[in-house]
Amino acid sequence: MKIPLSWLREFTDVQLTAEQLAEALTLRGLEVRGVERWGANWNKMVVGELLEVGPHPKADRLQLTKVRIGDGPILNIVCGARNIAPGQRIPVALVGAQMPDGRRIERAEKMGVASEGMLCSGQELDATDDGDGILILDPSAPLGVPLVDYLGEDVIDVDVKPNRGDLLSILGLAREVGAITGAPVAYAARPLKEGADAVAAGLALRVADEALAPHVVLRVVDGLNVAASPDRVQMRLKAAGLRSISNVVDATNYIMLELGKPTHAFDRAKVGDTVQIRLAKKGESLETLDHEVRSLDATDLVVADERTALALAGVMGGASSEVTPSTTSVIIESAIFAPTSVRRTAQRHSLRSEASHRFERGQERRLAVLGADQVAALLTEWAGGVARSGRLVSGAEEVPAATLNFRPARVRALLGVALTDDEQVALLGTIGINAEAAADATKIVVTPKRSLSAAKGSARAVRVPSWRSDLEIEADLAEEVARLYGYERIPTSIPSADLPPHRPSPTLLRDRVRRLLADAGLNEVVTHALVSAAQAELWSEPTALVTGSLAASEGAAGGASIVLKNPLSADHDRLRQSLLPSLLDRADANLRYGAASGAIFEVGRAYGSTKGVPSEWTRLAIAVWGEREQGAPSAGATRWNLDELKRLLAQVAHLVGERPAYGASIDSAVLHPGINA
């Protein structure tokens, strides 16, 4: 989120430079992408004063002006704008200046009259969207100073993480700055003067499911004149990364940036008499403000009237109720929507917006009323509207504050820093924990509290601020103490505990074993995991020559075989308990087809059931016979024998960090009674 520093200073006293503040925020655990100077490309542009404005002798559409830019010479500049008059302070691009669009200002003759610069519109400066006239500055603008020093803005770009949705506003970041500087943080709400007409006259609100929309507020403002926003508003929005649209839409965006509360304005003339918050109906569609027609799903939460859907709740409005220049009355919707519902809808439609970005991270309930009131107040100021008296409200404005147990001794143990109880309490107080609202309802004040209510023992009960939904457990409070104290002040130490040796993942070990055996000249086979009842009974006992990391933490095979409920055939009706029957089948098939020599292996799963609980294990099985492959690596003898196989198994065991273990002869019907091991 981009934060203009001058806007931030309206919420708390900031004496730090943008660079110093960015560093301080970084040390308190926030990720700052960078600091930029908005307007830095206004090179060779200054504040000037119009001394004379007169007609051009050869062109009715042009005017001749004399401009003072300080102690320098008076400039003669030809201009086509009609909104200029003597005495005005205006931005002047001097000869040699490069405009944001790449044009370079040169001394030139226009219809036979020399022009020594250019008077700039807001659009030409890329500061506003108004290109019809020259940008008129405040009469107090200092004459001759570089334009960037007067209109420029230091902007801090903060990368807000998903758990800190409270930082997606000027107010939220001001709380963090106040915790750093110790300065109080306050938001002074704009007063709202209501008209005689009631909002409930001819309008109703119905919420189908309060779990999806626990709090909804509607206001109505009449008598609007939809036009461009004031220049200062357009410039502030642009510095914050948003484009200006109209005074009505800009008012909703302005409050969203200030408070973090998205709102939406519907053209009252295009909405029925009942505003509904409901799930979309089967087959319903909606053309959103980006003019894409979207097929709605029964899980999409929408704002609607009696006839049709008007907006994707918390995501984007609809084109059918869009505010246009002919709009004279609007419904302001300010709601708390379930984050999961907004996230699901935004993902399904691949539609992300500034509003959905904030709704997905959770919203503070009390901001719904405040947000609606503040948008209405701006519309009366910027668009000449009259707010109807009262609000339509669904759901409770306040919810009980969350309470957490906080043990300072536990925090000291976690952090390794000897902070006293009072020091920890003071740090938490700087971010509003146990903060109380001021008696003046027009202000939201966050001030440090130096004491918390005591609980039994050494624990304390603390109330979590309504805007910090990320604080859920005691460890979260410990993290806040560490962050506010300063990570850079916590001494570093080397862990004293003995660390176990690193073991590669089982998947990596299996791949290494496969490569080793393949390099030794063996061919890997992959056999079916299903066997017959006879094979399962014959091979029910495990036969393993290598144990250890390859099958680490996977238990020992054995128990009853697992029988399929619906087998394809009687020969494949249960899961194998050993890889050997399938592997020997492959060896037998090779011998029958004339392969007098061979070496095959399989790394696969074996299965069993103990006390009705099914399990599975990774096993390695090898079958060799006849002559060794000509030129095979590490070939000792020309024929396979037990020593050659043991040498190969030793390499496998070394690879997985184990030693091979060989047991006594196993009495099994499938092994030769005299030469098995």
Q: Cα separation of 666 and 677, whole Å?
A: 7
**Please, is 113 exposed, middle or buried when counting C-beta atoms within 10 Å of its C-beta (0-12, 13-18, 19+)?**
middle
- Beta strand segments in 352-422, E: 386-389, 392-394, 403-406
pLDDT, mean of residues 515-530: 92
pLDDT at 72: 83
Please state the rounded mean pLDDT for residues 571-593. Answer: 89
Is the pLDDT at 506 greater than 90? The verdict is: no
Q: Does residue 561 sit in helix, strand or coil? A: coil
Tokens, residue 527: 């056999």
DSSP state of 628: P
Structure token digits, residue 573: 């009706």
Place of tokens 């500049």: 77
Strands 443-446 and 185-188, sheet pairing: antiparallel
Residue 343: its H or E element: helix 339-348
- For 48-54, what is the mean pLDDT? 94
Q: What percent of the chain has pLDDT over 70?
A: 90
Q: What is the pLDDT of residue 98?
A: 93
Mean pLDDT of 403-420: 87
pLDDT at residue 83 in the model: 92
Q: If pLDDT is split at 50, 70 and 90, which confidence band does 191 have?
A: very high
The CA-atom distances, in angstroms, between 331 and each of 79, 221, 264, 387, 388 are 42, 7, 8, 10, 10
Decide if pLDDT at 421 tops 90. Answer: no
DSSP 18-42: HHHHHHHHHHTT-EEEEEEEETTT-
List of domains in the chain: 2-40+153-188 (3.30.56.10), 45-151 (2.40.50.140), 194-394 (3.50.40.10), 403-489 (3.30.56.10), 506-655 (3.30.930.10)
* Residue 316, φ and ψ in degrees, nearest 5: -160, 150
Is the pTM here over 0.85, yes or no?
Answer: no
Q: Parallel, antiparallel, or unpaired: how do β-strands 274-279 and 301-304 relate? A: antiparallel
Cα–Cα distance measured from residue 529 to residue 573, given in angstroms and rounded to the nearest whole number: 10
Q: What is the pLDDT of residue 548?
A: 39
By CB atoms closer than 10 A (0-12, 13-18, 19+), residue 337 is buried
Residues 6+ apart with CB under 8 A from 551: 617, 618, 619
Q: What is the C-alpha separation between 250 and 8, in angstroms, rounded?
A: 18
Does residue 669 surpass a pLDDT of 80?
A: no
Give me the mean pLDDT over the 148-163 stretch.
94
**Phi, psi torsion values for 581, nearest 5 degrees:** -60, -45
pLDDT-wise least confident of 148-162, 269-283, 326-340, 427-441: 427-441
> β-strands 285-287, 403-406: how paired?
unpaired
Distance CA 374, CA 262 (A): 12
Low-confidence winner among 116-125, 384-393, 466-475, 487-496 (lowest mean pLDDT): 487-496
Banded pLDDT at 677 (limits 50, 70, 90) = low
User: Count of H helices and E strands in the chain?
Assistant: 16, 32
Q: Which helix (H) or strand (E) holds 247?
A: helix 247-259
Looking at residue 636, its pLDDT comes to: 52
Q: Does the pLDDT value for residue 550 go beyond 80?
A: no
Q: Across residues 70-93, what is the average pLDDT?
A: 92
Q: What is the model's pLDDT at position 458?
A: 55
C-alpha angle with apex 31: 30 to 37, nearest 5 degrees? Answer: 110
Output the pLDDT for position 558.
53
Mean pLDDT of 579-600: 90
The pLDDT value given to residue 609: 83
Q: Residue 480 has what pLDDT?
A: 92
Greatest Cα pair distance in the chain: 122
Half-sphere exposure of 652 (CA within 13 A, CB side): 31
Phi, psi of 287 (to 5 degrees): -90, 115
Query: Looking at residue 450, what is its pLDDT?
Result: 34
| pLDDT of amino acid 342 | 96
Mean pLDDT, range 102-111, rounded to an integer: 89
Mean pLDDT (the chain, rounded): 87
Mean pLDDT of 458-470: 80
Q: What is the pLDDT of residue 448?
A: 36
Looking at the DSSP bridge assignments, the partners of residue 336 are 215
If you average pLDDT over residues 586-601, what whole number do you get? 91
Tally Cβ neighbours within 10 Å of residue 53. Answer: 18
pLDDT at 459: 65
* Residue 589: CB atoms within 10 Å: 10
Tokens, residue 441: 């309802």
Kindly state the average pLDDT of the residues 200-217.
95
11: alpha, beta or left? (left if phi > 0; alpha if psi -120 to 50) = alpha
Phi, psi of 598 (to 5 degrees): -175, 160
Residue 235 has pLDDT above 70, yes or no: yes
Q: Which of 168-177, 429-438, 452-461 is modeled with the greatest confidence? A: 168-177
| 611-621 pLDDT tens trace | 778 888 889 99
Per-residue pLDDT band for 447 (boundaries 50, 70, 90) equals very low
Average pLDDT over residues 28-53: 94
- Tokens 């997905």 belong to 360
